[in-house]
Amino acid sequence: MKPTRLKDYLGHIRQAVEEACDFVSGMSREEFQNDLRTQKAVEMNLVVIGEAASRVMDHYAEFTQRHPELPWREMRGMRNRMAHGYFEINLDVVWSTVQTALPALLAQLDALPDDDA
């Protein structure tokens, strides 16, 4: 049953990455800064990504060790900042993350061997 759960966590990460990127697709930075709904939607997806990454780190350490190219600690760190520093969220960091880090993460997830999870 463990491998199925790992695939679930990786699927949650992938889905949250895709949703966050879709939410800002075609938006300018200024439009994002002025769109509270999109901000909250993206922030929630960053929390989901970090929570799933934390579960993988906690329960599938051997997988994270086999895939150090994935930013496990950064995903968890972003989640912690979103969840615990709510009133101090830096929208420039959120924007940069969704514009650069998330597409890179999606490419890294796509490069994982199908039989490894």
Annotation says 81 is catalytic: no
Q: What is the DSSP letter of 70?
A: S
Q: What are phi and psi of 67, to 5 degrees?
A: -130, 65
Dihedral sign, Cα of residue 33, residue 45, residue 13, residue 89: positive
- CA-CA-CA-CA dihedral for 10, 41, 92, 70, to nearest 10: 0
Catalytic residue among 12, 76, 79, 81: 79
pLDDT at 86: 65
Average pLDDT over residues 30-57: 96
Which carries the bigger pLDDT value, residue 20 or residue 83?
A: 20
pLDDT at 2 > cutoff 60: no
- Predicted local distance difference test score (pLDDT) of residue 1: 43
Q: Is 79 a catalytic residue?
A: yes
- Is the predicted pLDDT of residue 26 greater than 80, yes or no? yes
How much is the pTM?
0.90
User: How far apart, in whole angstroms, are the C-alpha atoms of residue 8 and residue 99?
Assistant: 25
Backbone torsion region of residue 35, taken as left when φ is above 0, otherwise alpha when ψ lies between -120 and 50, otherwise beta: beta
Please tell me the predicted confidence (pLDDT) of residue 36.
96
Q: Is the pLDDT of residue 3 over 90?
A: no
Tens of pLDDT along 68-96?
999 999 999 999 888 887 678 899 999 99
